[in-house]
Each structure stands twice: as structure tokens, then as C-alpha cells.
Amino acid sequence: MQYDPTLDALLRPQLRDPLGPELFAGQDDTLCAELARLAYYSFAPDQLARLERGLAGLGLSPTHLIEDRQRDTQAFVALDPQHTAYVVFRGTESAVRRDVISDALFLRRP
């Protein structure tokens, strides 16, 4: 896998197409990293097929999309053929002001 050190790769992971399944055979850590990147794909109905194709290319089936527009929270659940469930949340989107403010207001507790 070619490492992409650009700022675009860090701040806008949704710009790259899904990576091929041959990179993830038997490697749960790299599969989970790719799923985390796919969580940044749009959940808009007219763009959802891109996420579904990315998951299908990894041998996964999307089962649930989770979106709370009020809190700007997105996640999905996908299953592999052995019924292992992957629950994947989108992190902070630096271009989304509400995400940055939510992070800044989060109270940390010991």
C-alpha cells in the first residue's frame, strides 16, 4: 500500500477511492483502518452507493447507518461473512465547524 503523506489524505480521507481487498486479507488492523477511512464517505442518499461499493469490495455488508444531524454524528455497522460486526464512527471533520466546537467543549474527566 502506498502511504499518502499529504494534508488532503489526513483532512479529507473521503477523497480517495476504497483500497483493494487484497491489502486486508487476514489483517484486522489494516481492515479497521480502512473502515475508519470509509466512515468519512457521504451518507447522502445519492452518494451512499460509493460507501456500499467500498464495503462490498472488502467482503462486508452494510447493515445499519447511524446519523444524528443535530449532533453531527455518523457511523455505520457492517458484517463480514462470519457475522463479525464492525461498528465504525466518523471522527472529527476539520472542515465542519460544529465538529471542531464539539471537540473543544468536550469535558474530560480523570
What are the residues facing 68 on neighbouring strands?
73
Amino acid at 55: L
User: Does the pLDDT value for residue 93 go beyond 90?
Assistant: no
Q: Which three cell numbers stand for residue 66?
A: 447511524
User: Does the pLDDT value for residue 110 go beyond 70?
Assistant: no
Q: 13 and 22 in contact (C-beta within 8 Å)? A: no
Which residue carries 445499519 as its cell?
64
| Residue 2: exposure state from Cβ atoms within 10 A (0-12, 13-18, ≥19) | exposed
Q: Cα 13 from chain centroid?
A: 9
Per-residue model confidence as pLDDT tens digits over 30-63: 899 899 999 999 889 999 999 999 999 999 998 8
Quote the pTM value: 0.78
Which residue carries 471537540 as its cell?
103
User: Does the pLDDT value for residue 84 go beyond 90?
Assistant: yes
Residue 94 pLDDT? 64
- Average pLDDT of the residues of the chain: 83
